[in-house]
Amino acid sequence: MCPEAIREITILPGRNKQGEPERFDAITIRPGETISIVGPTGSGKSALVNDIEIFAQNDTVTGRTVLVNGRQPPEEFVRDPAQKPVALITQHTKCLADLMVREFLLMHLRSRKIEDETVVQRTIDLANEFTGEKIRGDMKMTSLSGGQTRSLMVADAIVISNTPIILLDEVESAGIFKGRVIETLKRYGKAVIFVTHDPLVSLLSKRRIVMRDGSVEKVIEPGDSEREALDEAIRLDDIICRMRERIRAGETFTAPVSA
Ligand SMILES: Nc1ncnc2c1ncn2[C@@H]1O[C@H](COP(=O)(O)OP(=O)(O)OP(=O)(O)O)[C@@H](O)[C@H]1O
Ligand SMILES: [Mg+2]
């Protein structure tokens, strides 16, 4: 259990790559909220999520400070992996352990002293809601595809680590149902921060942080003004997903998919 419930985390400004001060006052995120981080390659998106992951205290390349409930976070948040309230999942998240999915999850359960072993199947079932490529408990972790691995890591962060804050650095990939992941994270009341190049993920987030040259350039909160664009992104994403599944299944297209 976390020593203190998280009500909010606050990012305080640092410096851009030229060493000039960032021009925002503070960015606060609370459980149940989603923020996306967008911007060109090399603009500092990953650096920002890393600041959050390690609760930077003016001790990283960006000079930012991250507070929990308005204060410097307790030591355990940073040092003790079991108390850490943040799960970071990246494109490079891989599992090298030569274990079956079931064994891997059981090991994680034990390390967190969770006795209810039904949690293993619940985690696998949740992961299977995120991906079309079915994951089974008797599969080898190392044989999972990128989409399956990331789906399992997100489900593991929700069900087993149960961290209130989840950071996802460009995890969207062909094998993962983005809309469903976001919906689930909101339902579980997680504070979620996505680094993304995906329009649907950006539009589904309540706020967008725009990065440039190592600094936060602006924070956009579109409210309902992007409703039509979101509907369009949902519709297009749905078409693309269905096409992908059919192509994978070896089908050909002789009629429109959008019907
Ligand atoms: N404010 C900053 N001051 C100094 N260096 C920075 C700052 N922000 C980022 N950097 C450095 O710039 C480089 C690129 O940053 P980063 O990897 O965060 O970019 P990115 O937006 O995630 O790019 P990509 O889209 O390719 O993943 C890194 O070496 C990072 O340490
Ligand atoms: Mg990056």
- pLDDT over 60 at 2, yes or no: no
Which CATH number belongs to the domain containing residue 199 in this structure? Answer: 3.40.50.300
Residues 179 and 244 in one domain: no
User: For residue 95, is it within any domain?
Assistant: yes
Q: Ligand 1 within 6 A of 13 CB?
A: no
Give the closest residue to 246 by CA, choosing from 258, 232, 234, 230: 258
Residues 46 and 91 in one domain: yes
For 119-131, what is the mean pLDDT? Answer: 95
- pLDDT over 50 at 122, yes or no: yes
**Residues β-bridged to residue 35:** 193, 207
User: For residue 13, is it within any domain?
Assistant: yes
Number of the ligand closest to the Cα of 210: 1
For residue 1, what pLDDT band results from cuts at 50, 70 and 90?
Answer: very low
Mutate to test the pocket of ligand 1, among 61, 66, 208 (most ligand atoms within 8 A of CB): 61
User: For residue 2, is it within any domain?
Assistant: no
CB 75 within 8 A of CB 10: no
Residues 162 and 37 in one domain: yes
Radius of gyration (Cα) for the chain, nearest Å? 19
Q: Ligand 1 within 6 A of 44 CB?
A: yes
Residues 245 and 126 in one domain: no
**Residues β-bridged to residue 11:** 27, 66
User: For residue 190, is it within any domain?
Assistant: yes
Residues 131 and 230 in one domain: no
pLDDT of residue 175: 67
What separation in Å is there between the alpha carbon of 48 and the centre of ligand 1?
8
Q: Ligand 1 within 6 A of 17 CB?
A: yes
Residues 36 and 110 in one domain: yes
Number of domains composing the chain: 2
Number of the ligand closest to the Cα of 50: 1
User: For residue 3, is it within any domain?
Assistant: no
Lowest mean pLDDT of 28-37, 162-171, 173-182, 249-258, name the range.
173-182
What separation in Å is there between the alpha carbon of 110 and the centre of ligand 1?
36
What separation in Å is there between the alpha carbon of 43 and the centre of ligand 2?
8
Lowest mean pLDDT of 59-68, 127-136, 165-174, name the range.
165-174
Residues 164 and 257 in one domain: no
User: For residue 1, is it within any domain?
Assistant: no
Residues 120 and 215 in one domain: yes
For residue 151, what pLDDT band results from cuts at 50, 70 and 90?
Answer: very high
For 129-137, what is the mean pLDDT? Answer: 91
Residues 51 and 161 in one domain: yes
* Domain housing 255: 225-259
Q: Ligand 1 within 6 A of 64 CB?
A: no
Rounded CA gap, 206 and 129, in Å? 23
What separation in Å is there between the alpha carbon of 43 and the centre of ligand 1?
5
User: For residue 46, is it within any domain?
Assistant: yes
